[in-house]
Amino acid sequence: MRFKKPILVALFSLLSALPAIAHHSFGAEFDESKPIELKGTVTKVEWSNPHVYFYVDVKGNDGTVVNWGLETDSPGGLIRRGWTRTSLKVGDQVSIKGYVAKDGSHLADARLVTLADGRKVYGGTAGDGGPGDPAGN
């Protein structure tokens, strides 16, 4: 079967745009005017591109437990900042400083994470322009 040139060009254009569609900037999803501090127990870690996500059960003042999703940089970006695949483990107690999602969901951008061993590591995407960006932004 022979493809016509316009069909191949359209198909290539669509496929090359997919990574750009999947990625977003800090400002598109998170609200820098709404910082949040969370403390809780890690329930899940998803170490994959384009962002590493981890989930934490956070107990509120009223005793209810809410599972928060925390977005960080890519695996490569985290490794360059001293993270490893085992930095976060299910059951670990962690503290997070970050910024909530604009949509009001229980999702936040994890800027500074205090790990179970006491180390503090940066979790944001370098150069994304979000608060606390070590690239100088």
Residue 102 lies in domain: 24-122
Q: Classify 64 in phi/psi space as left (phi over 0), alpha (psi -120 to 50) or beta.
A: beta
Domain count, the chain: 1
Cα-only R_g, the chain:
18
Asked if residue 62 is part of any domain, the answer here is yes
What is the sign of the dihedral through the CA atoms of 77, 82, 83 and 88? negative
> Is residue 50 reached through a cis peptide bond, with omega within 30 degrees of 0 on the bond before it?
yes
Q: Is residue 84 part of a domain?
A: yes
Residue 70 falls within a domain, yes or no?
Answer: yes
| 72 vs 54: CA distance, rounded Å | 8
Which residue matches tokens 């994470």?
113
Question: In CATH, what number is assigned to the domain containing residue 29?
Answer: 2.40.50.140
Q: What is the pLDDT of residues 13-33, one digit of tens each?
A: 444 444 444 455 676 678 888
102 within some domain: yes
With a pLDDT cut of 70, the percent of the chain lying above it is: 70
Amino acid at 73: D
50-82: pLDDT as tens digits = 899 999 999 999 999 999 999 999 999 999 988
Whether 8 is in a domain gets the answer no
Q: Does position 90 have pLDDT exceeding 90, yes or no?
A: yes
